Amino acid sequence: MTIPNMNVIDMYKTMLKIRKFETKAMNFFAEGKIPGFVHLYIGEEAVATGVCANLNDDDYITSTHRGHGHILAKGGDLKFMMAELFGRATGYGKGKGGSMHIADATKGILGANGIVGAGHNISVGAALSAQYRGTKQVCVCFFGDASTNQGTFHESLNMASLWKLPVIFICENNLYGISIHQSRHQAIKDISERAVSYNMPGITVDGNDVFAVYDAAKEAIKRAREGNGPTLIECKTYRQRGHFEGDPGTYKPAPEQEEWVKKDPIPRVEKFILNKKILNESQLKDIQQEIDIQIEDAVEFANNSPYPSLDSVIEDVYSDMKEEVRVR
């Protein structure tokens, strides 16, 4: 499939935005400026980017604990994300969620999620909702290899296929469930094989090739929109960092790490853009600078934002009760 140059540039920008946002977050975490847990997506940017490039604003996604990439690719705002990581009142969750719980209902982002495998079930509900209301919306469910060992994965694929729901299951096989290599957590190699059990198409693609991901997702999304049901797409990729920041990832053999860093999705796109003469070196640099500025703006926005008022701790537990939660 030929992808228009415009889309190639947009996808490059998205991947770079994710990489630069996370590199910033990584440094801030190391400096102690960001509390809590930070799970980085570095090395996996092609997956979220290639998939979301096919989505509309009102389509839905469910995400994971490693969610920054999905959220940015689906149109999440750098400023509100950075502010949330900083625990500020202007953040997506008003400082109540943090990195693992960013959502933006206006962009169909139904939340990053701290529970491995929880997004599967929620995505089926969102897809059912689209089908019920008769819209042409779809829901993309992002999840990791290790979550396919949870019961939720199997329940959800079964239900989605049974009811021909417009959901696309995107497995990011990054080779590790925390510290456990895929070969030690499941007896299969290609997770797409599991689609057979649920009578849906299952395909495996190079998850570090944004164009391969884009093409596969495009077809699956079309199929879902036309009412033909779900697809399972396995994207083979690699988590370049530890499970969370602070995990040195010593369980990953050095040669394996080196081999995958060579397959880093971002330089691959840069090379493609230059080879195809879509842009020249200096235009690429301009894009990089443009994104650096966006990131700096987001940091400034976060830094200048107030901390949440201590009274806000009782807000948003319920739609219609506030003071009551203190006293009853």
Residues forming contacts to another protein in the complex (CB under 8 A) are 60, 62, 91-97, 101, 103-105, 110-111, 113-115, 118, 120-130, 132-133, 139, 151-152, 155-156, 158-159, 162, 315-321, 324-325, 327-328
Minimum distance from CB of 41 to another protein (Å)?
19
Instruction: Select 59 or 270, whichever has its Cβ closest to another protein.
Output: 59
Name the residue nearer to another protein (CB basis): 33 or 96: 96
Nearer to another protein, 4 or 134 (CB): 134
Nearer to another protein, 57 or 320 (CB): 320
**Pick 97 or 207: Cβ nearer another protein:** 97
Report the nearest approach of another protein to the CB of residue 221 (Å): 17
Nearer to another protein, 12 or 60 (CB): 60
With 0-12 CB in 10 A as exposed, 13-18 as middle and 19+ as buried, what is 3? middle
Owner of token pair 């842009």: 279
From residue 99, alpha-carbon distances to 22, 189, 253, 274, 295 in Å are: 11, 30, 28, 34, 16
Instruction: Name the minimum Å distance from CB 211 to another protein.
Output: 30
Provide, rounded to whole angstroms, the least separation between the CB of residue 193 and another protein.
Answer: 21
